[in-house]
Amino acid sequence: AQSVTQLDSHVSVSEGTPVLLRCNYSSSYSPSLFWYVQHPNKGLQLLLKYTSAATLVKGINGFEAEFKKSETSFHLTKPSAHMSDAAEYFCVVTAMDSSYKLIFGSGTRLLVRP
Amino acid sequence: DTAVSQTPKYLVTQMGNDKSIKCEQNLGHDTMYWYKQDSKKFLKIMFSYNNKELIINETVPNRFSPKSPDKAHLNLHINSLELGDSAVYFCASSQGDIPSYNEQFFGPGTRLTVL
């Protein structure tokens, strides 16, 4: 069965420093992977997705993620954090059965210090 | 113009009551979803409808009944509410039901508190 593990429940960075949010996946097949962001009291928004094309995926707001099959990882990065990046981030994989449902990780809360 | 809207935003009720949450999308999408997010932020799909037909029905108690009167609406009715139903419920929609191709757009959520 497909699953994702987000290795950190909280990540704290200073404004202007790099962001790294870690995600490992488990899948018998080549998966589709996503990162979603949830700002406080808001719905989720798609940041980026990987669907077996380029392994380095660029998303909105300067975020990108790299699919590494050998490491079964899909870490999210950003060169320079902004205060507005403070939010909850979810790594997501699609189920490989006919439902194609989204399977969410447990989330990583990103805190950005001034 | 809100793409995916939910009402109410907050819902506080007593155990045993019956309540409904409404969802509407104005994106012209043909697929709609209900997700439950628990107190630990864990998010899990409950139901999915494509062109008003149920296509995903996770292991959800029978007390939860989705209803899709048309493609733009997917309501969630909950009977005999229990303490464990307290959560944030998110509605979402997409054009098509394959996430690899079709982005899901989420509503702002409904925070349900059962006392």
- CB atoms B103 and A44 under 8 Å: no
Per-residue model confidence (pLDDT) at position A3: 87
The Cα of B86 is separated from the nearest Cα of chain A by a number of Å equal to 16
Instruction: Give chain A as a 3 state SS string.
Output: CCEEEECCCEEEEECCCCEEECEEEECCCCCCEEEEEECCCCCEEEEEEECCCCCEEECHHHCEEEEECCCCEEEEEECCCCHHHCEEEEEEEECCCCCCCEEECCCEEEEEEC
- CB atoms A43 and B104 under 8 Å: no
User: Which of A100, A106, A110 should we substitute to test contact with B (largest number of B Cβ atoms within 10 Å)?
Assistant: A100
Q: Is residue B99 helix, strand or coil?
A: coil
How far is the C-alpha of A54 from the C-alpha of B58, rounded, in Å? 32
What are A's interface residues with B at a Cβ cutoff of 8 A? 32, 34, 41-46, 49, 51, 88, 90, 94, 99-102, 104, 106-107
Per-residue model confidence (pLDDT) at position B40: 86
The closest CB to that of B99, out of A88, A94, A107, belongs to A94
- Whether A29 shows a pLDDT value over 80: the answer reads no
- Whether B52 shows a pLDDT value over 90: the answer reads no
Contacts of A98 by beta carbon, 8 Å cutoff, 6+ apart: none
Is the pLDDT higher at A100 or at B80?
Answer: B80
**Nearest residue in A to B33, CA atom:** A101
Strand partners, A45: A37
Tell me which residue of A103, A107, A109, A106 sits closest to A26, measured CA to CA: A103
- Give φ, ψ of A17 to 5 degrees: -100, 165
Q: Is residue B107 helix, strand or coil?
A: coil
- Whether B100 shows a pLDDT value over 90: the answer reads no
Write out pLDDT tens, residues A52-90.
Answer: 778 899 999 999 999 998 999 999 999 999 999 999 999
Per-residue model confidence (pLDDT) at position A53: 75
- Whether B103 shows a pLDDT value over 80: the answer reads yes
Mean pLDDT of B53-68: 87
Per-residue model confidence (pLDDT) at position A114: 95
**Nearest residue in B to A39, CA atom:** B108
The Cα of A50 is separated from the nearest Cα of chain B by a number of Å equal to 8
Per-residue model confidence (pLDDT) at position B83: 96
Q: Does B24 touch chain A (CB under 8 A)?
A: no
Tell me which residue of B24, B27, B19, B22 sits closest to B7, measured CA to CA: B22
- Whether A6 shows a pLDDT value over 80: the answer reads yes
The Cα of B99 is separated from the nearest Cα of chain A by a number of Å equal to 7
